[in-house]
Amino acid sequence: MQHSELILVLDFGSQYTQLIARRVRELGVYSEIHPFNLSIEKIRKLKPKGIVLSGGPSSVYAPDAPHSSQELFSLGIPILGICYGLQMIAYQLGGQVDTSARHEYGFAEVLIDNTSDLFAGLNGPMKEGRMTIPVWMSHGDALTKLPRGFEPIAHTNNSPICAIRNVEKKIYGVQFHPEVVHTVQGKEILRNFVFTICGCRGEWNAGSIIDEKVEEIRTAVGSNNVICALSGGVDSSVLAVLLHKAIDDRLFCIHINNGLMRKDESEKVVRLYRDSYHFNLDHVDASDLFLDRLKDIIDPEQKRKIIGKAFIDIFEQEAKKMSTVKFLAQGTLYPDVIESASSKGPSHTIKTHHNVGGLPEKMNFKLIEPFRELFKDEVRAVGRELGLPEEFITRHPFPGPGLAVRIMSDITKEKLRIVREADEIFTEEIRKAGLYESLWQAFAVLLPVQTVGVMGDQRTYDNVVALRAVRSLDGMTADWAQLPHELLARTSSRIVNEVRGVNRVVYDISSKPPSTIEWE
């Protein structure tokens, strides 16, 4: 898809690269990430209004360090180098980078030497006759000699040159990270680059792409039919509604109840999509098959494999009934796309979740992936624009293998009942407290231990439920949520009283890393 304004981000392997693109998009300008070695020819074709060189873990002088092409700097396109990106500019244009005497990690105070263009409109206390702003640093090397034609525009007590510019060539660099929230005025700095320096107008937003996507889908699909696995999660819900807008009753949705979903989840999906939206919806209750195949299985990886395989088997069987279907729609998101692209570049792939892994190759479907360019919060924006009920849009993420990864032992109907009811109570209390939307996820886990309790005059020997609630921006890192004690107390008391088989509730106070969000 051709966007009228694009800010191109070249990835040198920073863990924050995605954040750069997200911040730019939040400013209303479409932004895309490509590997650092994207050819000049391709860059020209993309016609970016500006280029951001990301940070990265290397030292510019290391033997295998990623380098940009010299030509990049004579294209006449404005450039902003961040951290390693700044050092790259210096390295390529004749400056000098050395290992700093003191590494800077975390908060630093930057003194702004020039408050025009890149740093215009910032606020901060004055020190030594300069405005100061708090920033986030993460670097070992530092710039020690300016490249020719450049001037310094900021410094810290450790780095005499912390930001540079060449106004004539429109090349800028900062040692700190404006894209992370800890650099409080970072967004203002990016705004100055994108609007003042690159001259963007900022007319992009996720919702505004609906009409173009609808057209794109219609053109790709022609008069064919499309199949879509509809779990009821945010991505598949928004995907189905968008497809329905584009091709109406040539969309065939399959909803598979694997028996591992949250309370009443499957029923809600069917009610909304079949009864209210009148989609062609094939609702398959395969709970028994899934539970049969999972019998006595304890190992989480084995559980995941069995569930994935069973899903494909059933999907395949249902899809065969619709022999006229040529296309499969998937809710692949931008982070999956960039992760796989940059595995060729310096970024390390962390984890990719594929929605319907293996299906397209196995069944000869052609793929439709309208969200390949979008981040999760942007998919939510599309969903809102399409009028999907808020409950489906703000729903916490839920793993594909469902409650199977929240039962720390073999899976039985009885255990599913316990974890489901406990989960429902916790969610209800969080909603009542008005906290649901501020949390990334909140859920219950059933532990494989029984402990002694006393209820009435009776000694009990029953199950332990662990509650987990986390705050996170993208699921990659997460902090455990410091929920109010009254809320935890009420939830614990309700679970013990209302869920048969539980006599103890604990709260998980681990962050990610070192823990993960799910227990398995």
CB of 474 to ligand XMP, least distance (A): 9
388-447: contacts with ligand XMP (CB under 6 A): 397, 399-401, 441
CB of 394 to ligand XMP, least distance (A): 14
Query: For 478, which DSSP code?
Result: B
**Exposed e or buried b per residue across 163-187, where buried means at least 16 C-beta atoms within 10 angstroms of its C-beta:** bbbbbebbbbbbbbbbbbeebebbb
Q: Count CB-CB contacts under 10 A for residue 125.
A: 9
Catalytic residue among 3, 32, 83, 421: 83
User: In the chain, what is the greatest distance between 2 CA atoms, to the nearest angstrom?
Assistant: 84
Which residue of 67, 305, 353, 459 would you call a contact of ligand XMP, by CB under 6 A? 353
Closer to ligand XMP by Cβ: residue 202 or 300: 300
AA identity, residue 102: R
Closer to ligand XMP by Cβ: residue 124 or 397: 397
Closer to ligand XMP by Cβ: residue 19 or 53: 19
- 248 backbone φψ class: left, alpha, beta (φ>0; ψ -120 to 50): left
Helix (H, G, I), strand (E, B) or coil at 77: coil
CB distance 98 to 71 below 8 Å:
no
Closer to ligand XMP by Cβ: residue 88 or 286: 286
- Total number of residues that touch ligand XMP (CB under 6 A): 12
CB distance 322 to 273 below 8 Å:
no
How many helices (H) and strands (E) the chain has is answered by 15, 19
Interface pattern 445-474 for ligand XMP (x via CB under 6 A): ------------------------------
Torsion, Cα of 156, 161, 162, 168 (10° steps): 140
- Which segment (198-206, 339-347, 427-435, 511-519) binds ligand XMP by CB under 6 A? 511-519
Answer yes or no: 83 catalytic: yes
Which residue of 475, 487, 490, 501 would you call a contact of ligand XMP, by CB under 6 A? 475
- Which segment (256-264, 374-382, 454-462, 510-518) binds ligand XMP by CB under 6 A? 510-518
Closer to ligand XMP by Cβ: residue 178 or 401: 401
249-308: contacts with ligand XMP (CB under 6 A): 304
- Which segment (123-131, 223-231, 267-275, 509-517) binds ligand XMP by CB under 6 A? 509-517
CB distance 245 to 218 below 8 Å:
no
The Cα angle at residue 392 between residues 386 and 396, in degrees rounded to 5: 130
CB of 370 to ligand XMP, least distance (A): 19
Which residue of 216, 369, 385, 518 would you call a contact of ligand XMP, by CB under 6 A? 518
> What is the rounded distance in angstroms from the CA atom of residue 26 to the CA atom of residue 18?
12
Strand partners, 143: 97
DSSP element (H, E) containing 328 = strand 325-329
Helix (H, G, I), strand (E, B) or coil at 507: strand
CB of 53 to ligand XMP, least distance (A): 29
CB of 307 to ligand XMP, least distance (A): 9
Answer yes or no: 155 catalytic: no
Answer yes or no: 353 catalytic: no
Catalytic residue among 3, 34, 139, 177: 177
Distances (CA, A) of 149 to 76, 84, 86, 168: 15, 20, 15, 9
Helix (H, G, I), strand (E, B) or coil at 502: strand
Catalytic residue among 5, 32, 104, 179: 179
The Cα angle at residue 33 between residues 32 and 37, in degrees rounded to 5: 130
CB of 277 to ligand XMP, least distance (A): 24
CB of 470 to ligand XMP, least distance (A): 9
Residues designated catalytic: 83, 177, 179
* List of residues contacting ligand XMP (CB under 6 A): 304, 353, 397, 399-401, 441, 475, 512, 516-518
